[in-house]
């Protein structure tokens, strides 16, 4: 049974970097058939895809245009997890952040409420 467990701070100051981790159990971040996603949900923007990482003989990343200049998604094969780093955050980045696995998107992390405030 595949599970995703998110961790990271719930409060980030403006201009700093938001960092979250998604630990995978029951599957591998290096799977040749899965991709690993970050999404978020906010009142102003609804549900929004942020980016993904996946391995197909080498690592690939895709990012949403809206955050492309500020986002990095990194796989961590040693700990079988992947991380989200979003720099130069503003209050507009306040949202509930989710990690998820593709395929049929039946597997999601529990969500992390992140508030950007001083």
Partner 1 sequence: DVVLTQTPLSLSVAPGQPASISCKSSESLLHSNGLAYLYWFLQKPGQPPQLLIHGVSGRESGVPDRFSGSGSGTDFTLRISRVEADDVGVYYCMQNSHLPLTFGGGTKVEIK
Token duo for residue 29:
């971040």
43 binds partner 1 (CB under 8 A): no
- Of the pair 16, 70, the CB lying nearest partner 1 is at 70
46 binds partner 1 (CB under 8 A): yes
CA atoms within 13 A on the CB side of 96: 8
47 binds partner 1 (CB under 8 A): yes
105 binds partner 1 (CB under 8 A): yes
Q: Is 52 exposed, middle or buried (0-12, 13-18, 19+ CB in 10 A)?
A: buried
- Of the pair 10, 118, the CB lying nearest partner 1 is at 10
The C-alpha atoms of residue 49 and residue 67 are separated, in whole angstroms, by 10
109 binds partner 1 (CB under 8 A): yes
Token duo for residue 108:
């999601």
Binding site for partner 1 (CB under 8 A): 37, 46-49, 62, 64-65, 98, 100, 102, 104-106, 108-111
């Amino acid at each position: 049974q595949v599970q995703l467990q998110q961790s990271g701070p719930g409060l980030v100051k403006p201009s700093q970097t938001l960092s979250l981790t998604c630990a995978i159990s029951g599957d591998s971040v290096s799977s040749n058939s899965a991709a690993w996603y970050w999404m978020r949900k906010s009142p102003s923007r609804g549900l929004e895809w942020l980016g993904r990482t996946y391995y197909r003989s080498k690592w690939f990343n895709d990012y949403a245009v809206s955050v492309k200049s500020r986002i990095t998604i990194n796989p961590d094969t040693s700990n079988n997890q992947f991380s989200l780093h979003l720099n130069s955050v503003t209050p507009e980045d306040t949202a509930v952040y989710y990690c998820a696995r593709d395929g049929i998107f039946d597997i999601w992390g529990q969500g992390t409420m992140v508030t950007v405030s001083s």
